Amino acid sequence: MSAFEEISNNIDNYKSFVLEAGAGSGKTYTLIETINYLLLNKGDNLKKSNQKIVCITYTNIAKKEINDRIENNELVLVSTIHEFFWNSIKQFQKQLKIELCKLNEIHRKKELEKGKTEPRFKENLASRINSILKIEYNDSSFNDFEKGKIEHDDVIELSKMIFENYPLLTDIVAAKFPYIFVDEYQDTAEETVHCLINCLLKRNSGKAVVGFFGDSHQKIYDYGIGDLDKYYSSNKGPIKLVKKEENFRSSRSVVGLLNKFRTNIEQVPQKSLEGSAKFIYWAQHPEKPKKDIRKHYAEIAPIKNDYFDKILSKLSSLDWQFGEGSKDKILVLANSRVAKRAGFENLYSIFYKRYGLSTKEKLLDRNHPLITFFVGTIDKKNSQEREIGLEHLIRHYTKGNNNEVIRFIRKTGTLLSKEFKHQHKKEVSEILKQVVEGRKTWKAKEMYEFASNKGLIFDSKLKEFTQRISNDPAILVSEDEKERLVKDKKLFDEFMNIPYSEIQSFWNHVQNHTVFSTKHGTKGDEFRNVLTVIDDTEWVQEYNFKDFFNGTEENPHRKLKTRNLFYVECSRAIENLVVLCLSDLDEKALKNIKIWFGEDNLVDIEEFLKE
């Protein structure tokens, strides 16, 4: 029985399910098939009962793609998770106010625990809540509970509280939407899964079907539930496991490799292409000393750079292409070498001096307000792109998407906060024309001040940051706070002094517009040939490939992140995969790698360069 047939059978018997679909298996196609099956077989009943199918996606691009493929059928509501939850709870204003007061106290407590003497969330909101006419949601990073305004993350928190505490709500949602499908379930927040399974589904068994589509091995962010194992019917849970084991993307060699270290499904290649999967390692890697580790890393860095350049040259001679618009890709976790090659060396250096190993979280994951202002961030509740940065606005403008330009500014800025009139379009166009021109010569400071003063973006977190660093360190009691303030002020000054072109280069890097990829940004993408680079000297707190390969990793969180990242990067390749490992490996690791890749495909760098 095919995966689609299993899903159809579950739907007919009101059984909820999870589709575990490996990379390249055609998951989205099966999702569309499932929706079309419902429209064909249940459409008339849905229409008579004034009901709809819900399909939850996490990006506007995915939302548009699905709507296009089902021809914008009126019986299907394709929605982001925030849209779905907000539309489900917004009419329950009395309950919303009660839960908002509780959430206010939770936030206030967290602020006090962090040592804030004047928390932004004021005490006893319950005494003032009735003066608020209506709780309103704005898809931004700004909230003001005193005015009843909630932001992006608040929607998920409040939905969880209301779904838990008001069973009638879940009955109403199930009655309106008897079929709810969630795409990319592995990146779904635990709160979301809790609402749909423990609240809605548990109370409406036999009345609603919830279907999850995704791949547990492609969960590579810190956030997201990852897998739904505990909810499987085999573990006495309410959802059936359906496996989709075809691989329509990759060559036989690549699929064979994936099956060696993936155990919950075994994919079957659908291409006759043989392809290749090689692992290149540094056999004569200098032994790591017990002391002066940093000095050791600094000494071998030039050797790594030289090997990297030689490998690229070798692959180019084998018809790999690494130019602009190439079908081939280099997957690597960004470090100082990558930043230099990709054109944001100074930006990287500024953040590394301030944050060290936390540079990944602050800069590369785009969680610092200085970075978010310009290039947006990744949503912590669903691991998807949050299009709230200046570069997102510029992209809409340069593509001529005027409706998205206006929508962005009305949601994220203050320029169009008053009544919108036709002449505002010309004003916005003139401002953005100056922005595009300014990108060529301005420094970050000039761009920041222009965009802020014109009201293109208002970011409350960046405003808090700039207000804090404007304080006099002498007024602070704690030495730690003084030191932090001085460091943050230095970061701000140095950041504002860099050419804006470096921020543009960083934007191109995180959007995978260069031959380098961040690895994290490639989920769902595919490339003819893939070179993935491993170097355990970077981000050692999050990834450890050596111990993953030799099977000794004791940190379950790090082991899972390393495995999933390796799976995602290997599974992007259509024809040929080369893994270049610049880390030191022990005999046990090499033995396992030999089993996975095959003895002939484990090659020393020097030997590979001679071939």
Q: Is the pLDDT of residue 341 over 60?
A: yes
Of the pLDDT bands very low, low, confident and very high (cuts 50, 70, 90), residue 477 is: low
Give the gyration radius of the chain's Cα atoms: 26
User: 160 is written with which tokens?
Assistant: 């969880």
Q: What percent of the chain has pLDDT over 70?
A: 96
The reported pLDDT for the residue numbered 139 is: 73
pLDDT tens digit sequence for 521-533: 455 689 999 999 9
Across 393-407, 456-470, 583-597, the highest mean pLDDT is recorded for 583-597
pLDDT tens digit sequence for 247-269: 999 999 999 999 998 989 999 99
The reported pLDDT for the residue numbered 421 is: 65
> Which residues, at least 6 apart from 446, have a Cβ–Cβ distance to it below 8 Å?
438, 500
C-alpha to C-alpha distances, 544 to 131, 217, 263, 431, 602, nearest whole angstrom: 54, 17, 20, 47, 20
Of the pLDDT bands very low, low, confident and very high (cuts 50, 70, 90), residue 383 is: low
Q: Is the pLDDT of residue 434 over 90?
A: yes
Strand partners, 530: 329, 577
Q: Is the pLDDT of residue 177 over 60?
A: yes
Q: What are the two backbone dihedrals, phi and then psi, of residue 233, each rounded to the nearest 5 degrees?
A: -65, -30
- DSSP assignment, residue 144? B
pLDDT, greater one: 336 or 312: 312
Strand partners, 576: 276, 529
Do 203 and 548 touch, CB atoms closer than 8 A? no
- DSSP assignment, residue 187? G
Q: Which residue has the tokens 């000794």?
A: 552
In Å, how far from its chain's centre is CA 117?
Answer: 34
Q: Is the pLDDT of residue 576 over 90?
A: yes
Kindly provide the residue ranges of all beta strands, DSSP E only, lying in 302-439, ordered along the sequence.
329-332, 377-378, 385-386
Instruction: Tell me which of 33-42, 365-374, 463-472, 566-575 is least confident.
Output: 463-472
The whole-angstrom separation of Cα 488 and Cα 490 is 5
Do 374 and 503 touch, CB atoms closer than 8 A? yes
Do 282 and 586 touch, CB atoms closer than 8 A? no
Element (H, E) at 77: strand 76-80
The reported pLDDT for the residue numbered 334 is: 72
Task: Count the Cβ atoms, other than its own, within 10 Å of residue 418.
Answer: 8
In this prediction the pTM is: 0.84
Strand 246-247 vs strand 53-57: parallel, antiparallel, or unpaired?
unpaired
Please give the average per-residue pLDDT across 599-607, as a whole number: 96
The reported pLDDT for the residue numbered 335 is: 76
Burial class (CB in 10 A: 0-12, 13-18, 19+), 20: buried
Please give the average per-residue pLDDT across 366-376, as a whole number: 93
Q: Directed axis angle between helix 423-438 and helix 402-412, to 10°?
A: 90
In Å, how far from its chain's centre is CA 433?
Answer: 30
User: 193 is written with which tokens?
Assistant: 């899964």
Q: Which residue has the tokens 């899964």?
A: 193
The reported pLDDT for the residue numbered 300 is: 87
Of the pLDDT bands very low, low, confident and very high (cuts 50, 70, 90), residue 517 is: low
Q: H/E/C letters for each residue in 457-521?
A: CCCHHHHHHHHHHCCCHHHCCCHHHHHHHHHHHHHHHHHHCCEHHHHHHHHHHHCCCCCEECCHH
User: 226 is written with which tokens?
Assistant: 């990852």
Closest CA to 539 of 189, 310, 309, 222: 222
Q: Checking phi first, is residue 135 left (phi over 0); if not, alpha (psi -120 to 50) or beta?
A: beta
The reported pLDDT for the residue numbered 546 is: 92
Strand 329-332 vs strand 527-534: parallel, antiparallel, or unpaired?
parallel
pLDDT, greater one: 367 or 242: 242
Do 499 and 443 touch, CB atoms closer than 8 A? yes
In Å, how far from its chain's centre is CA 504?
Answer: 20
Do 386 and 369 touch, CB atoms closer than 8 A? no
Of the pLDDT bands very low, low, confident and very high (cuts 50, 70, 90), residue 450 is: very high
Task: Count the Cβ atoms, other than its own, within 10 Å of residue 486.
Answer: 12
Strand partners, 279: 579, 602
Q: What are the two backbone dihedrals, phi and then psi, of residue 32, each rounded to the nearest 5 degrees?
A: -65, -40
Do 238 and 208 touch, CB atoms closer than 8 A? no
Please give the average per-residue pLDDT across 218-238, as a whole number: 89
- List domains and CATH numbers for the chain: 3-79+168-246 (3.40.50.300), 89-162 (no CATH), 252-333+519-610 (3.40.50), 345-510 (no CATH)
pLDDT, greater one: 88 or 297: 88
In Å, how far from its chain's centre is CA 478?
Answer: 36
pLDDT tens digit sequence for 85-121: 999 999 999 999 999 999 999 999 998 888 777 888 9
The reported pLDDT for the residue numbered 418 is: 63
Please give the average per-residue pLDDT across 9-30, as a whole number: 95
Alpha helices, H only, 145-292: 152-165, 167-176, 190-193, 202-203, 252-261
Instruction: Tell me which of 162-176, 229-243, 330-344, 597-611 is least confident.
Output: 330-344
> Three-state DSSP class for 117?
coil
The whole-angstrom separation of Cα 342 and Cα 348 is 11
Please give the average per-residue pLDDT across 52-75, as a whole number: 89
> Three-state DSSP class for 346?
helix
> Which residues, at least 6 apart from 222, have a Cβ–Cβ distance to it below 8 Å?
561
The whole-angstrom separation of Cα 354 and Cα 223 is 24
Closest CA to 488 of 480, 499, 477: 480
pLDDT, greater one: 139 or 597: 597
pLDDT, greater one: 323 or 79: 79
Q: What angle do CA 575, 581, 584 make, to 5 degrees?
A: 160
